């Protein structure tokens, strides 16, 4: 036996940190002879030989352990040579294959340097599993970052999950462990067996895995994400051409893929990625939305988290199909002219033992101090944004969704929780930053970095912040001191509107400020005005049932008035699925939307109104191109609380196109004079009380001519009939 006993015992106990230094072929002197020694550790093999690929000459190997350790000394060889192993297994089966320990590392020093520095923006192409052909040999490379591990092995069905048989090599101070395994093909499942410094072994899924098994196994799956043939080139070119054009029509339909529609005839299962694509595209096109926003589709073990507790950050969830099917969905939507935004969750991750938490026996991805590393609200862990490799992981993750799957933008979840060290914490539960403040300086630097990199590599892609505080400069450019987001959700306006419309009409006159307060900060950021999934869960009631009225017809009238106001008001638009047809019950992630309600006028009318509002919004540039220009908006009446009335103008810079919007939210019918800036006819382009939308039909017969009666600071005005609980939109016609 040539192998030192210490090395043999370490290999057989899966404790050897440098297996490539022992296994494989190495130059060695034996006595007075010079040659090469070859060692192999093969599970269940009874015999093994080394075969010279060039000559076919074979050298039988000596079994030095019943666990499958073989070695042989080949004399008179001055250098290593290309070889295969020929193993004989019980039953006489013979296999000949290349040795995993005969290949050089698949990561170079520059890759590792940039990763440790935090600047390898596409580290997802290096770490994780990747099908490769090396020196003409097909297989898969595996690499994982586990700097505190004492030893790491690759395990899977191919070695019966025995960590002795594919130990990985440590790539020095980088903390990365790597191995290339010939013969591994797509679909192979695997995990990493990580031994910590105390000798404990953790079986971990691949942080960079691109596909996963279903729970409870949660194993990573070798998957080639590069072979899909995309057909959306013209869409991507239009997206690049639109880079920097934030003042454009964006109306987003927020979708939870598992509950939009289901197959009741097939155990009520959700639609797959491919089944969903044509149905969703048809519906979104009919409804006039410009984009869909999917709630998180990265892999997650628990359905009830709605995707917000991610364990596979680089993998579309297995629930609806293969990653290629997910790519097919995006490609199809792009070909239909529909943009795709994905909910992205870099603020936290769950504590599941197979995932990122205490990955190598230390707090690797998360802060060790719970005052920094534990999320108080969700029981999750917070990323250590100050660690270069963690930032690298997250930046690369954002880029991977845009590059592998052509996503058009990311809605970044829970930004407020990232910005503040004291978010949802009491005194003594948080640690101030180095300047003594409450801002999370490392998270702020990370957000700036990821926004800059996304915009650098993918001009036209959108970064949208779900941020609910008054943090300054969320949508200001990084070079100007901002965070660099394109848009920010307008949570304040949403809360004001729901508080106002949740009151019965008789009480609204004392709450006029809810209608007007939002304009004080409207132009401080680039806002998306939202009614999202968060507003229709956890006992908050559906959008319809939030409305302050007793009867469904009155609730529907309130909701139509609210939606018409939303679409006319400055800001991009977002509406969660089901809200567009006034679903009665709260959203349930385990069931389909209640599409049968569309047979009733109170529900179908709301849907038709949303459709027409989208069409008006997209076709009239004034309603989108002036969203961030305060000169394009003017209150004409914001003080008539007694009548629960507001009126405002939307117009272009040249003042050639005007819309006047009148919201009348009391329960009475009124005749009211409204001042307008131009003489002529004002066409009634939207009346939320139209019979077509389920209303009474009371309105203004398609429009009104101006009269030379001064009102609201103008020399002319129009006399309007204001139905109860309605919003009217008029367009000036010279």
- Where in the chain are the domains? 5-98, 109-221, 253-620, 630-733
Match 């008054």 to its residue by tokens: 470
Given a contact cutoff of 8 angstroms between Cβ atoms, the answer to whether 329 and 335 are in contact is: no
Three-state DSSP state, 140: strand
Q: Which residues contact 250 (CB under 8 A, 6 or more apart)?
A: 290, 291, 487, 528, 572, 573, 624
Q: Which residues are annotated as catalytic?
A: 413, 466
Q: How many CB atoms lie within 10 A of CB 419?
A: 22
Residue 526 and residue 482: Cα distance in Å, rounded? 12
Residue 529 pairs in a beta bridge with 573
State residue 189's pLDDT score. 98
For residue 154, give the DSSP letter.
Answer: E
Lookup: tokens for 232 = 């959306």
Identify the pLDDT of residue 12.
Answer: 95
Q: For residue 14, how far is the Cα from the chain centroid?
A: 37
Number of H helices, E strands in the chain: 15, 36
Q: Please give the pLDDT value at position 31.
A: 79
* φ, ψ at 4 (rounded to 5°): -60, 145
> CA 464 to CA 411: how far, in whole Å?
5
pLDDT in tens, 27-56: 988 877 899 999 999 999 999 999 999 999
Per-residue confidence (pLDDT) for residue 30, from 0 to 100: 82
Extended beta strands in 503-561, E state = 527-531
Q: Which candidate, 241, 215, 372, 225, places its Cα nearest to that of 309?
A: 215
* Fold of the CATH domain 109-221: Immunoglobulin-like (2.60.40)
- Which portions of the chain are predicted below pLDDT 70? none
Distance between CA 209 and CA 127 in Å, rounded? 9
Residue 474 DSSP label? T
According to the model, what pLDDT value does residue 642 have? 96
* CATH number attached to the domain at 5-98: 2.60.40.10
- What is the model's pLDDT at position 29? 85
pLDDT for 230: 98
Residue 577 vs residues 260, 547, 588, 690, 701: alpha-carbon distances, Å = 7, 17, 11, 23, 32
pLDDT in the model for residue 376: 85
Q: Are 514 and 499 in contact (CB under 8 A)?
A: yes
Please give the CATH topology (third level) of the domain spanning 253-620. TIM Barrel (3.20.20)
Structure tokens at 53: 């690929």
CB 508 within 8 A of CB 468: no
| DSSP string computed for 69-86 | EEEEEEES-SS---EEEE
Instruction: Tell me whether domains 5-98 and 253-620 share a fold.
Output: no
Cα–Cα distance between 522 and 586 in angstroms, integer?
29
Whole-number Cα distances in Å, 396 to 2, 201, 454, 483, 714: 45, 28, 10, 18, 55
CA-based nearest residue to 652, from 617, 627, 679: 627
The DSSP H or E segment spanning 396 is helix 388-404
| CATH number, span 630-733 | 2.60.40.1180
Helix crossing, 273-287 with 323-335: angle to 10°?
A: 20
């Amino acid at each position: 036996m040539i192998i030192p006993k210490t090395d043999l015992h370490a290999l057989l106990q899966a404790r050897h940190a440098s297996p490539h230094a022992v296994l494989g072929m190495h130059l060695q002197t034996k006595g007075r002879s010079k040659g090469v020694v070859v060692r192999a550790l093969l599970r269940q093999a009874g015999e093994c030989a080394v075969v010279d690929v060039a000559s076919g000459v074979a050298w039988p190997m000596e079994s030095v352990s019943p666990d499958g350790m073989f070695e042989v000394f080949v004399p008179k060889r001055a250098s290593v040579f290309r070889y295969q192993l020929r193993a004989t297994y019980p039953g006489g089966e013979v296999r000949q294959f290349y040795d995993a320990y005969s290949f050089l590392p698949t990561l170079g020093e520059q890759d590792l340097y940039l990763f440790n520095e935090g600047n390898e923006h596409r580290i997802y192409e290096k770490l994780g599993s990747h099908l490769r052909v090396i020196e003409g040999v097909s297989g898969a490379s595996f690499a994982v970052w586990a700097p505190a591990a004492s030893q790491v092995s690759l395990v899977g069905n191919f070695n019966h999950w025995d960590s002795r048989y594919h130990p990985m090599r440590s790539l020095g101070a980088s903390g990365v462990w790597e191995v290339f395994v010939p013969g591994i093909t797509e679909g192979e499942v695997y995990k990493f067996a990580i031994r910590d410094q105390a000798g404990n072994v953790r079986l971990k899924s691949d942080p960079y895995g691109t596909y996963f098994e279903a729970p409870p196994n949660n194993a990573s799956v070798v998957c080639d994400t590069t072979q899909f043939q995309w057909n959306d080139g013209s869409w991507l070119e239009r997206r690049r051409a639109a880079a920097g054009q934030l003042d454009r029509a964006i109306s987003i339909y927020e979708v939870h893929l598992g509950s939009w529609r289901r197959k009741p005839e097939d155990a009520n299962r959700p639609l797959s990625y491919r089944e969903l694509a044509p149905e969703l595209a048809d519906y979104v096109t009919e409804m006039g939305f410009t984009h869909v926003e999917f709630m998180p589709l990265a892999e997650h073990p628990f359905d009830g988290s709605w995707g917000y507790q991610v364990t596979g950050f680089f993998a579309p969830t297995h629930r609806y199909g293969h990653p290629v099917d997910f790519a097919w969905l995006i490609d199809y939507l792009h070909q239909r002219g529909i943009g795709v935004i994905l909910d992205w969750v870099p603020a936290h991750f769950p504590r599941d033992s197979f995932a990122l938490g205490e990955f190598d026996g230390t707090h690797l991805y998360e802060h060790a101090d719970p005052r920094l590393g534990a999320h108080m609200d969700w029981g999750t862990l917070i990323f250590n944004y100050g660690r270069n490799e963690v930032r690298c992981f997250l930046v690369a993750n954002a880029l991977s969704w845009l590059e592998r799957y052509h996503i058009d933008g990311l809605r970044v979840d829970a930004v407020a929780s990232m910005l503040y060290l004291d978010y949802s914490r009491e005194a003594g539960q948080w640690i101030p930053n180095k300047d003594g403040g409450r801002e999370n300086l490392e998270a702020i630097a990370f957000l700036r970095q990821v926004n800059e990199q996304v915009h650098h590599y993918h001009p036209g892609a959108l970064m949208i912040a779900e941020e609910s505080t008054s943090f300054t400069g969320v949508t200001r450019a990084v070079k100007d001191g901002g965070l660099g987001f394109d848009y920010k959700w307008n949570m304040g306006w949403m809360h004001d509107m729901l508080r106002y419309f949740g009151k019965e009409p008789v009480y609204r006159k004392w709450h006029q400020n809810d209608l007007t307060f939002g304009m004080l900060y409207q132009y401080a950021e680039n806002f998306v005005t939202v009614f999202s999934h968060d507003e229709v869960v956890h006992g908050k009631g559906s959008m319809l049932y939030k409305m302050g009225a007793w009867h469904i017809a009155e609730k529907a009238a309130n909701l139509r008035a609210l939606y018409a106001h939303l679409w006319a008001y400055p800001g991009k638009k977002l509406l969660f699925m089901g809200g567009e047809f006034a679903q009665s019950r709260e959203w349930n992630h385990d069931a389909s939307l209640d599409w049968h309600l569309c047979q009733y006028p109170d529900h179908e009318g709301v849907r038709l109104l949303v459709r027409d509002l989208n069409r008006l919004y997209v076709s009239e540039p004034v309603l989108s191109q002036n969203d961030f220009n305060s000169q394009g908006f003017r209150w004409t009446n914001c003080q008539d609380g007694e009548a629960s009335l507001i009126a405002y103008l939307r117009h272009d810079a040249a003042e050639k196109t005007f819309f006047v919007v009148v919201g009348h939210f009391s329960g009475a019918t009124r005749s009211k004079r409204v001042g307008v800036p131009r003489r002529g006819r004002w066409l009634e382009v939207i009346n939320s009380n139209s019979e077509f939308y389920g209303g009474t039909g009371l309105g203004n017969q398609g429009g009104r001519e101006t009269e030379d009666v001064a009102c609201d600071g103008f020399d002319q005005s129009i006399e309007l009939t204001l139905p109860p609980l309605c919003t009217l939109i008029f367009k000036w016609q010279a």
